[in-house]
Structure 1
């Protein structure tokens, strides 16, 4: 279209797929005298070409158009004419759509409900505010002059302004080119995107390989070939695999032309998965049935006509599928059974009761007979409509022959049972009443046949089992499982008890009806006593082996640790002596003093280790001698702590004494107790270490605490055992052993108190006070 109007007026191109809208807007803009409409376009592709040719100051661009919509055309317009300002013009009232348009480069987003009288002025103001930091959105004031104008604009307003945000299915409105301009939360959840991410995106991006089908469907809708369209696809980019069905319906104007599209999206992932699983199950079941050879499995119509035939049916009955399909199933029955109408009655009963089951003679194709078990089940569809019968037949002729042979041998077996004396073998009625009695039963239980037959078998059970109804429970289990077996106490006629092995077997007739129980009982009291004695001996042997194994492991660990404990000071002494002998004159006084101090410390370490070894040896052989006398435990604690501070100057070791803490004992050995506890805290715990002595009734209590994590529960049981180290950070495993033994030698004891709330864990030594009664004299 040629440019018109005065040269000083800004130029504008109007793009809308509705010609009457373009005419209306073009006229209103011309009458305003503010803008010069120099071109028009019916879709986004035309808009790009018109702008490329005319380079207008403004483009008023519709959102929903066929071929190429406004959102797709917007960046292309700005690419061919960067100085042109694009104003999006749409009937969609969607905040997210406006934001998306601004993101793509639009200067403003106008709704078609904007007052047309003010439209030209608004557009001019946008040009004047070209350098403003952000574009604006004009609100939806609905002021239109003339009924014709009101009708045209109203047709292009969004028909569904309030999409139900709480709808369970996904909903969206899309442009005619397939771009989303409004979406609800459910659609966002289905497509694994936020609503803001969906607005402005092409729906085809989520359809993956189904995008071609989607394009064809949209083309059919827009051409009028299809009123609605539906496409099923996997969701591209979803966190978990997801399958959806999207239904597209056009929203039409009064001329029956599409304005935009309304989409409903339903998640069918679970439904399709279930359908696929059902399909696989049906295929597998059909293959299974077709390949079963031991059972004739076939379907009958409601009238009894054969509709399916498997390999087992052909093998058992002799007919091929072509020979038998469509014939009535009465063909398998002997003539006299057919004449009586028995096959038809079977179907009547199956339809009435759900199924019918029996055993009887059937006839093969060659006329031979076989004994069969038959199960007929009525089949209904999901609506409850009767659609036929499933019939399963098995040839059990050989089983029947075996049952006949078994019955023939039952008499011989009965004679055998009656003669057995080591087992109580007898029959029970279905109610548990004794129906037979053999010599073994009389010998083990003490009753004669005339004394016990007719009584309930609970007679043989102790009173507590009778009250618990255990005998009746045994019969219930035998009925359910076919047999029941246990061992337990039973009672003889004279009241004595014996340990018995019991097997109860449910006995049924050829038709499967319960006729009673076979009960076999054997007195195995001697075997039980022998097994218990054997188990006790085995348990004792296992415990002894465990103790020996533990002792062996502890001793091996002790030897390894002792070698390590000896190796370090011996190496220090030897190395230092060699250094002093070879280089005495080359060393200064400070170096010689440090080396001599190290030799002294190593010698002290050796003396302490030797002292522990000698003490442990004497304690083990009960040859330890104590020099008894009055001992101030507080002084012992103070001196030991002072010595440890000198040995470990970089470690905080505290002492605390409360009141008089005098005992009768050996001061040196009690010092050894405190030293060992402090050494144990330094080796296995963490500083600071605190040693306290206090009175507690008739006892003096010495406690040693450190700031470590305490002793693990699994270690506490063997904490004071000889050679027990817990395999942690060295030590001979003798220190705590000596502590407890020395404490007990003084009439006291040593223990470990685990942490409890605010009370920290500690090693505790209790000694009797001076003047307190000795343990043997205590009342």
Structure 2
């Protein structure tokens, strides 16, 4: 007769007992070992007769036993039904191995009768992870400490994900001020309006890499000339993970190139200067000869006095511009600053330009409902900028053409746009139009006349006021727009930045976050501020830390895989020595803040955390 199949429970028992890759043991409710499989012998070394009847703490290190971790692990499994842990365990021969452990409570009805414990030797995996982590950390530290290059990572949409020391030096932002924001924050408004950031991402995505040079904007809104390389980053499946962006500040190199270019054009300028000075002298000489010959002809005298007056005004303007360029180059250009309304600057510029505008029957059109903001600057010099821009627009526009001035206020920066409907600017000249001695051409003639220093002077004066000026044009025949950006003020600035928060006292701080980079970076910032910091990458590790470390303040991420922040808070509140610890929730969602207060957190902080606010909260808590 065929043999009867063994009972199902016997098959399962044989399977468990013969597993060699997992140590599977049963414990009674007090933690005493009641069963031991072949995996326990293979991994840990004990024969069943040597370990059954012993307390499970025999498998732990002396440090863990002294911290009563074996009992606490069973308590956590009792409360939650299940507990996962990683840590060092001890073999029969005294050697250590890194174990991944799962403890599950066993119940009969409502009563816990014991525990099932599964142990896996993950020493090799742990060492590989640690080796990889150390390699990544070394690379991260290398990138982080590079000061001459801004090296950042962007996500697939262009939002900043990492920020190194070079980026902080070049762009001026702290990491917590820029991470999460779109990288278009580094581009001038004109580039954003033209869709340049999105266009660069598309090129990098399709071609793998794009490199270009251009103006970029620092945190303080000043401009710098940058060389930028944007590289698409793919994973092993060729899925786009983001972009690596490397930026180098080449402002000094561009300045030297501009100087060299200016020197090369000096001979041309001297020839133009002689021509431009002779231009007004010729009609003045002719007018004076006529006046000498017909001094009694009143109508003739009035006409030629007018010629002399206009040409002298033109000559004076040329000489003044030349002197100003020399003063700026020598560092002797003095600004007499005051808080002035921008409407006064515009009015003064229009008034100074009126004679030429009237001569060509051109009119200035002011936009409706324009904001009136204040700037801290030199009214005479800013009016000079407006005058030069209006005269430039007049020169390149036909008779009877309108010139439009619009004013905008965006945050702390004001914008004044001067737009004409003239001959426009070729694309290859847009980046050079403000260079010294550069002149645009008008159809039918080599240049439009002048010395080619008016726009350069405008840029220098505006930059001395902490602003910028850029030109834009759709091309030849499409008109031009010049945009001046100036810092708006409510009062005279002191020129001193607000001091960083000084904590004054050192605190013991626990940071708990499963995101290792977030936890490490926040911990480092707190250590640099003079605090004693312990970092845990999960709830279980946090409970191990507080066995020997009593923090004054704890910051806990709400969303963690092994134990969420609320569960960890409840566990920490059971420790008597943590009675005075202030515990704060860290959350990326503002809607979690009400829940955080309701469950007993002392306060909450929204990610990304403002480090100055965080340091202030540590010493002078305002939440609650």
TM-score range, shorter chain: 0.3 to 0.5
Q: Which has the higher contact order (CA 8 A, sep 6+)?
A: 2
Q: TM-score, structure 2 length as denominator?
A: 0.35
Q: TM-score, structure 1 length as denominator?
A: 0.28
Structure with the greater alpha carbon radius of gyration: 1
